[in-house]
Structure 1
Amino acid sequence: MAGGKLTPRQKMINLMYLVFIAMLALNMSKEVLSAFGLMNEKFETANTAATETNSLTLGALGTKAADNPTQFGEAKKKADQVATITKNFYDYIGKLKADATAGVEKNKDGKLPYEAMDKGDKIDEGWFSGDGYSAKGKEIVSTMDKYRADMKAIIGNDAKYKAIVAEIDSKFNTADVKDGDGVTKKYLDYNYKGFPSIASLTKLSAMQNDVKVIEAELYNAFLGNTAIAAASMKNYKAFVMMDKSAFFQGEQVTGRVVLGRYDESTVPKAVSVVGASTSIENGSAVFKMAAGSVGDKDIKGKFTFMEDNKPVEIEIAGNYVVVPKPNQAIVSADKMKVVYRGVPNPISVSVPGISSDKVKASAPGMAAAGKPGQYNLTPGAGSDVTINVTATMPDGKSFSSKEVFRIKGLPAPTGKIRGEVAAKGSKSNLEVCTISAELEDFDFPVSVNVTQFNIRVPGQPTIVVSGNKMDARAKAAIAKASRGDIVIISEIKAKFVGLDQMPKRVASCTFEVQ
């Protein structure tokens, strides 16, 4: 249109075309400016919602940390640092937005006049100086760099946060940028220099949105990662749960194998095991208590965890068996399974691994002695006696056993004069002595009464004496004894006190006259 010679009419037409194109361009710019304004509104609305949501998420993490500081305490500490850094940077961007719109009067509806915000003088003059940054521009870049470095320092080198670190580096990178023509420009030049103020305002709101998105991702990562760590199969162990803790030889062994979490992060608020002292060690409740008497024992108690500020109780139920502790070797004389006729023989009956109250024994002449497992056996006629034992095992089944004992009569008593088998003394002492009989080296308290005995003084006829003391004839014979004579007491007859059996032949005793 501008080349060659043109007629006045053609020049007028061309001028009208230029005005028309300019008008189209002007109308498109207003539409674009309005679009930026609407986009800015959406970012600011999203940022307000994100601020509220992130605050609630941080509060939930705080509750978790209060309930379970071991598992969530470190995550809450990092989240608090993220919250502080995020707020400082978010507010800083807000001040930049306020500076960019300073002096701009809002419309009656309270909105900015987007179509009139086609200039960027305040940013161009405030952030830039010649081809470089002004002091304000340097401050902005430095603040962005510090935010990026501080956030990465909190996250560290944990591989689980790799994607978030990459996002921070990408969205808050202040390095130089090449434009579409391959020309290298500084970060602020490329993004803000020469742009309408409404466009720069929208980009700043978008940056605030990026800040809030990063904050939300980190909070959720802290919550999610702690939960993942707690649920990781690395924190589970296989536990063998026996149906009971003691089995007999030949019995079927039964139980279950279950998976249970066993790690330091699972710490209860409280734990109780009835009758035992407890402590928490490496995520487990360790208890100690006395084993007690022989037999089946129950273990009962509960774990108490805090969940959403409410106590959650988990019941503890288990059992164990107390068996007698060996304290000596068992040595049996094969020929010594003997009981004595007519006297109460103490008998103890027990079965290893079964409490005495579940063991019963019986035999002719056998009676309980007061305590479980204790009996007295008084055998009568016959040469042997069988003791039958019945026991109830922990599984409810019973078994029986028996032992055969030989029955022997009481041993023969030993005759004694003045309590001695071979006594010495004067004739006058002998005259007043009592003749007795005793079961020597016998463990049962059996008393013997002497009813008759013979006395023979050297040179004198044998005299039969009734009772256990010297009569007149015996004393007369003793009076004729000489020094050195040995007086023999023989044919001693006796009976057991309270027993319906006669003693065997009683051994003789002697007295030397001095």
Structure 2
Amino acid sequence: EILLAAFDPTRIPEVYVQNEKWDGVDSSEIDYTTLEALPVSFDGSGLYSLSTKGMKLGQYQYRGVIRYQGPDGTMQSQDFTTPIFTVADPGLVVSPTAMNVFYRGMENPVKISVPGFSNDKITATISGGHKITRKADGSYIVVPKKSSSFKEAEAFISVTGKMPDGSTAQLGREKFRVRVLPNPEPEWAARRAQNKTISENDILAFAPIAAKLDDFLFDVKVSPKSFTLLIRNKGQWSELKSGNQQLTPDMKSILQKARRGDLIFFNDIVVPMPDGTERILNMKLKVG
């Protein structure tokens, strides 16, 4: 609301507000001829309103001018500025994508907003030696520290805000769980343990052993670094080791002899994970 304290009620003042946000520096004369006058009531007050839809978050202030008829009958002008106001998200939100869970080894996206504060006026920190970083769009990324432990841990995000007088206020904190990634599933020649069987033709493709994490929030790519092949052929057991995910020549030679009813075991499949842990996986298939 813009109010002229004293005026002649028979001569209603004219009130104009610039459309552009004031930079706090410009003091040039306002060209009111390009602006639309605000409606002014009988008591001399003018109401300025604007929609914040589509406006970026942050603080705003505008310049304006009041034109009124002075005692000598000439038109006079008085510049003014609107109070500073903040365009902010309509509620305190600290929300990860996974129900208050952060996964180790992943860039966990987080949105943080506080009513009355623009993103550039708030600061977020995280406990436990984890890392939180603000992105250009105002959102955050949390990267928990890597650990060889499988235990669930806790982390707290604390938010502070910069007040108009320059002081800092504590705005609260939220608790989160920090977890390791779930186990991937071993896969060989597009077959998994739940498939139970594999054909002789699929065996002869000599595919590398793989590990996949399906139906998870993040796109996680992992590769086994070693495994053991155990196969029973004609009642005889053969055990061979590989130092990567590829079949060795000896493994291929043994697998060429596999026939219907033989059992193939992939044991001790060691898979390094982005969270700092290693998983030991196993899989059994029957030649069918």
Calculate the TM-score normalised by the size of structure 2: 0.69
Q: Equivalents in 1 of 2:79, 2:237: separation in Å?
A: 93
Alignment correspondent of 2:239: 463
Alignment correspondent of 1:386: 156
SS of equivalent to 2:224 = strand
Distance 1:288 1:262, change over 3 A: farther
Post-superposition Cα deviations, 1:103-144, rounded to whole Å, max 9, x if no partner, equal xxxxxxxxxxxxxxxxxxxxxxxxxxxxxxxxxxxxxxxxxx
On the 8 A contact 2:89/2:115 being kept in 1, the answer is yes
1:398 maps to amino acid: T
What does 1:79-90 align with in structure 2 at a 5 Å threshold? none
Distance 1:365 1:491, change over 3 A: same
Tell me the CA shift for residue 458 of structure 1: 4.2
Aligned partner (choices 70, 79, 88) of residue 315 of structure 1: 79
Q: Equivalents in 2 of 1:369, 1:259: separation in Å?
A: 44
Q: Which has the larger radius of gyration?
A: 1
Post-superposition Cα deviations, 1:259-285, rounded to whole Å, max 9, x if no partner, equal 9579985434x5421217744436464
User: How many residues matched?
Assistant: 252
Aligned partner (choices 12, 15, 26) of residue 267 of structure 1: 12
SS of equivalent to 1:387 = strand
1:410 maps to amino acid: L
Tell me the CA shift for residue 303 of structure 1: 1.7
SS of equivalent to 2:202 = helix
- Report whether the alignment pairs 1:289 with 2:50: yes
Tell me the CA shift for residue 357 of structure 1: 1.0
Distance 1:480 1:259, change over 3 A: same
Tell me the CA shift for residue 309 of structure 1: 6.0
- Report whether the alignment pairs 1:402 with 2:166: no
Q: Equivalents in 2 of 1:468, 1:461: separation in Å?
A: 21
Tell me the CA shift for residue 355 of structure 1: 1.0
Tell me the CA shift for residue 469 of structure 1: 2.4
Q: Equivalents in 2 of 1:449, 1:262: separation in Å?
A: 80
Tell me the CA shift for residue 312 of structure 1: 0.7
The CA RMSD measured in Å over matched residues stands at: 3.8
- Report whether the alignment pairs 1:434 with 2:208: yes
On the 8 A contact 2:189/2:207 being kept in 1, the answer is yes
Tell me the CA shift for residue 370 of structure 1: 3.1
Structure whose residues are more often helix by fraction = 1
Tell me the CA shift for residue 373 of structure 1: 4.8
SS of equivalent to 2:120 = helix
Aligned partner (choices 252, 255, 276) of residue 501 of structure 1: 276
Alignment correspondent of 1:35: none
Post-superposition Cα deviations, 1:364-398, rounded to whole Å, max 9, x if no partner, equal 23242432452433324583333332212335442
Alignment correspondent of 1:155: none
Q: Equivalents in 2 of 1:440, 1:462: separation in Å?
A: 31
Alignment correspondent of 1:183: none
Q: Equivalents in 2 of 1:265, 1:446: separation in Å?
A: 74
Q: Equivalents in 2 of 1:425, 1:263: separation in Å?
A: 96
- Report whether the alignment pairs 1:482 with 2:275: no
Alignment correspondent of 1:370: 135
Tell me the CA shift for residue 510 of structure 1: 4.7
Q: Equivalents in 1 of 2:228, 2:286: separation in Å?
A: 16
On the 8 A contact 2:105/2:143 being kept in 1, the answer is no
On the 8 A contact 1:303/1:315 being kept in 2, the answer is yes
2:76 maps to amino acid: V
Q: Percent identity?
A: 25
**Unmatched 5+ residue regions in structure 1?**
1-238, 242-257
SS of equivalent to 2:12 = coil
On the 8 A contact 1:340/1:379 being kept in 2, the answer is no
SS of equivalent to 1:473 = helix
Distance 1:266 1:309, change over 3 A: closer
Distance 1:373 1:398, change over 3 A: farther
**Unmatched 5+ residue regions in structure 2?**
21-34
Post-superposition Cα deviations, 1:219-269, rounded to whole Å, max 9, x if no partner, equal xxxxxxxxxxxxxxxxxxxx8x9xxxxxxxxxxxxxxxx99579985434x
Tell me the CA shift for residue 356 of structure 1: 1.1
